[in-house]
Every structure is written in C-alpha cells, then in structure tokens.
C-alpha cells in the first residue's frame, strides 16, 4: 500500500492412494451437438478420508466453440462437488455440469483448458467414466482400481512443482479445544492450490492489514485488537512493516520488536499473524535482500514454535521481471526454513503483486517458472474501484494452478483513497469466498483516506467496537468478515 506522504503507486491498473489419472482421447463425429465434434478429457483425482480434489483437463478436438458445458456423473451417489474453480458447477443427484466462464469459454480446434473442484464422499470414491462436451461423448476412459485413499490432495494439473502436497495429519488428530481461528485450525500448510488447516481441509482466512507501524502505532493496542478479534470476528492480522519511508531501515531492532509484539497480541486472541515485509519503493526486492535476510532470520527464529505465523517476504514488487522476484524468494525462503520449516511463506508477484496483469503479463510466467520451495503461496493485490473484470478473470484462471493469498486489497481506488465501490468490492469478495482465497483488507487504521476502517481520530480515543467509529469501508468490511467461518475439522 502507499505511504504518507503517498508516492505515485502507478498501478495495479489494472478413491486412491496418491494421484489417480483417468485419460480419454477420442475424435468423434458429431451428429446432434451444437458445437465440438470431438473431445478429450483427462480426469485426475487425489483423495483423503471423506474428500478429494479433482482436476479435469478438457481438449477440443472438433470445431471451435465459444462456450462449453462439460457433463459427467459420479458413480457413487454420495459424492458431491463442494467447491470448484474455473467453471460454474451444478449438481443434480449424481449428475454434474460444469459451464465455462468468460475467460475460458472459447476453445479453438486442438485447444485445451483445465478446471477443478474439491468434493466430498461417504463410502467410496470411484471416478466418472463418461464425459460429454456440449453433448458430444468423450469416450475411452478407463476406471482404475486401487486401495482406499489416505493422503491429502496434491496440486491440480500444471501445478508449480515447488508446492508438493504435504502428508495429511493422521485421522487421530484431536478435535479443537478452543473456538478461535488458531485453536480450530492449528498449524496451516499449503495443499494443492489451497491453504489447509491441521485436518488437511481447505480454509479461508479473513482479516485486516495494519497501516505503516511508523505512522499508526496508536491504532494497535489491546482495545483495538480485542475489537478486531471479538467484534469483527477476524481470523487474521496482517502486520505491515514498511522497510523504507521511515520504517525498518531506520531502526531494525525497534521495528522487529514491534512486529514480534503484534504477533504475540494476535496469538493471545487466537488470530493468525501475517508478517509483511512491506517493500514498495524501490520496487526491486533485491535492493532489500540483506535486510530481508536479517529480519526474517530474527522473526522466524523467535516465532518458530508458534502456529499462528505466516511470512510475506515482499509486498509489491514493481519495475522488475518475475525472474528477479523468484531469485529473491529463493534466497530469503531458506533463511526462514532454517528456523521454521513448517510455516507458510507468501511470495509477491510482478506488477505490484498483480500476477503480472498490471505489466501486461499474466500468471503463466509463474506456472512455467515457479519458486523452488515448498509450502508457499503467491500474492495477489487489487483495489476494487480500479481493478475489475480483467483482474478478476486472471485471478480465476490462476486459482486452478497456483496457491494464492490476497494479502492486501482495498474497497477504493489504487491510491488508497476515494469512494467505496460497493459493487466491485462485493464481486471481488464473492469470488474470493467461492475460491476459498484468504484476504486482508487495507487498512485497519484511522488514516485520512477512503480505505481506512476507522474515522479520523478514532485511534486517539478508546472505542473501537461497533459501527459508530467506522467509515463506509470499515462498515462494509466488518459486515463481510463477521459472517461465520465454518472451518472444517473432519
């Protein structure tokens, strides 16, 4: 996020053990189908007790199509689609239809697209044996037979090899002993494209980001954090520690201590703490490489035993290519791993963490050249009044291939100011909810800008709970975050 005074942000303008593969390729003449005269489907699953992830690769072998519908049926009536991506899913009984989205509906002859979903099952986990594309049957699938599944889901098709699925905790993982987000979910990890809890189940964290600690320290006290945890019912506190702009570089020891104190305060309230190494200007993360190694060595050593810590190693890289960001990440992550081998690490992306969209690129560069590390996610940022359908489309496309975390977003323009765009903000949060992508809103502060949650002067008073002290953005976000989490524990 931008600073005070704010330099130009420019843009963001913008069942089976292991994996079971079902592959079918058929070139079929079409008689009654409205489009597509042949199709091929590769259906890959990976299962755990009571659930599974399915990845479906669709290849059009016939005439070009502008929109498509994939149909199939589960052999087991107890199977249900619980959460899908890259398509709109409907299920009636055992029959499932998946309809294309705006960005992936056009399939030229020979073109492919990949969709996926998480599902649940009761007594068995067989795979579909017949698929149709716009009414044309894709034949030739074979059904594998194997032992019951016991492992957690691996990444879907074309996953970054840097994020292999960790082993699911054994079924004897005890039930949670508390009701806070950390008590329920415990140590988090990346499984496939999801953030998963101690039970190996995909979850979504929802919370708020601080503003710069050098400017708004008065906003982060016991009363305000009680309000965030209890009144807002937030899962997450993002701790935005600026490196430049009168931040960490001016007092490394002092800012490290402030971050650690906020980690402890979040832990005491059962919230996750996202430690943000907030780089913005300059945009090349390697400018702060030595500082990053020093800082992350200190905080990871100190907080290694905690279950509530997530590390965000660079905020918004800009003016550099993906290879530079990747190189930086592959030097910083080992520093953290030496102290804390289990924590989730989040890597910023090109173009102010827009997956490259703001630079005219897209997520393909990450998929094709992922960071060589495990248990990592990639950052996506947006500001709802500035970044709309093309950004949402790219996020939807990337979400089936990369584990994503929206570590910062605003309800206003990319400047951090202006009026709340309720319609776009709602569209964004509905999408994140559907994809189970975690998020932190900018900003839990009383800054004199439209993105601030509190009215100016609030942080010099003693009242933080309720709506009387909130801005329009704060009221909107509190209402969204307060809805039930319903974290799965089995």
Q: Check if the beta carbon of residue 353 is closer than 8 Å to that of residue 379.
A: yes
Q: Please state the φ and ψ torsions of residue 53, each to the nearest 5 degrees.
A: -115, 135
Give dist(CA 59, CA 107) in Å, integer: 8
User: Does residue 316 have an active-site annotation?
Assistant: yes
Give dist(CA 1, CA 9) in Å, integer: 8
Give dist(CA 70, CA 22) in Å, integer: 16
Out of 245, 312, 316, 394, the active site residue is 316
Which residues, in sequence order, are CB contacts of 486 under 8 Å at separation 6+? none
DSSP state of 337: H
For residue 41, give the nearest of 117, 166, 129 by alpha carbon.
129
Q: Please state the φ and ψ torsions of residue 219, each to the nearest 5 degrees.
A: -85, -5
Out of 245, 365, 394, 408, the active site residue is 408
Give dist(CA 91, CA 2) in Å, integer: 44
CA 284 vs CA 240, 281, 331, 358: distances in Å: 18, 8, 14, 16
For residue 411, give the nearest of 102, 1, 10 by alpha carbon.
1
DSSP-assigned states of every residue in 307-324 = SSEEEE--S---SS-HHH
Which residues, in sequence order, are CB contacts of 341 under 8 Å at separation 6+? none
Q: Check if the beta carbon of residue 11 is closer than 8 Å to that of residue 350.
A: no
User: Does residue 249 have an active-site annotation?
Assistant: no
Q: Please state the φ and ψ torsions of residue 209, each to the nearest 5 degrees.
A: -105, 140
DSSP-assigned states of every residue in 404-431 = EEEEEEESS-TTS-S---HHHHHHHHHH
Active site residues: 316, 408
């Amino acid at each position: 996020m931008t600073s005070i005074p704010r330099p130009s942000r420019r843009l963001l303008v913008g069942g089976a053990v292991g994996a079971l593969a079902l592959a079918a390729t058929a070139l079929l003449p079409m008689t009654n189908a409205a489009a597509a005269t042949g199709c091929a489907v590769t259906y890959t699953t990976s299962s755990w007790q009571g659930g599974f992830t399915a990845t479906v690769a669709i290849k059009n072998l016939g005439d070009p199509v502008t929109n498509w519908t994939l149909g199939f049926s589960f052999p087991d009536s107890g199977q249900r689609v619980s959460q899908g991506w890259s398509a709109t899913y409907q299920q009636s009984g055992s029959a499932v239809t998946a309809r294309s989205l705006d960005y992936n509906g056009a399939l030229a002859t020979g073109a492919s697209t990949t969709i996926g979903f998480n599902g649940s099952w009761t007594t068995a986990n067989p795979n579909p044996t017949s698929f149709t594309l716009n009414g044309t049957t894709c034949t030739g699938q074979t059904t594998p037979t194997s032992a019951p599944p016991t492992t957690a889901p691996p990444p879907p098709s074309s996953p970054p090899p840097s994020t292999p699925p960790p082993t699911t905790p054994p079924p004897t993982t005890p039930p949670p002993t508390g009701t806070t987000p950390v008590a329920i979910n415990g140590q988090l990890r990346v499984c496939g494209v999801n953030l998963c809890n101690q039970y190996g189940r995909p979850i979504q964290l929802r919370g708020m980001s601080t503003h710069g600690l050098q400017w708004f320290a008065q906003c982060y006290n016991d009363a305000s954090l009680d309000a965030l945890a209890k009144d807002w019912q937030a899962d997450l506190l993002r701790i935005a520690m600026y490196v430049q702009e009168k931040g960490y570089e001016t007092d490394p020891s002092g800012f490290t201590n402030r971050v650690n104190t906020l980690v402890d305060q979040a832990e005491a309230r059962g919230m996750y703490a996202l430690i943000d190494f907030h780089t913005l200007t300059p945009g090349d993360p390697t400018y702060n490489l030595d500082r990053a190694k020093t800082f992350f060595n200190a905080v990871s050593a100190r907080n290694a035993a905690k279950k509530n810590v997530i590390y965000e190693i660079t905020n918004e890289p800009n003016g550099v290519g993906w290879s530079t960001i990747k190189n930086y990440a592959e030097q910083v992550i080992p520093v953290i791993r030496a102290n804390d081998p289990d924590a989730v690490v989040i890597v910023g992306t090109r173009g102010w963490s827009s997956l490259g969209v703001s630079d005219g690129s897209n997520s393909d560069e990450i998929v094709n050249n992922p960071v060589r590390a495990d248990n990592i996610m990639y950052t996506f940022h947006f500001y709802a009044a500035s970044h709309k359908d093309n950004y949402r489309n790219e996020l939807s496309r990337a979400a089936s291939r990369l584990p994503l975390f929206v570590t910062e977003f605003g309800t206003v323009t990319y400047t951090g100011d202006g009026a709340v765009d309720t319609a776009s903000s709602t569209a964004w949060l509905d999408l994140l909810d559907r994809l189970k992508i975690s998020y932190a809103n900018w900003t839990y502060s009383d800054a004199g800008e439209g993105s601030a949650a509190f009215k100016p002067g609030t942080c010099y008073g003693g009242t933080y709970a309720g709506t009387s002290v909130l801005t329009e953005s704060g009221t909107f976000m509190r209402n969204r975050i307060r809805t039930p989490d319903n974290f799965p524990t089995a």
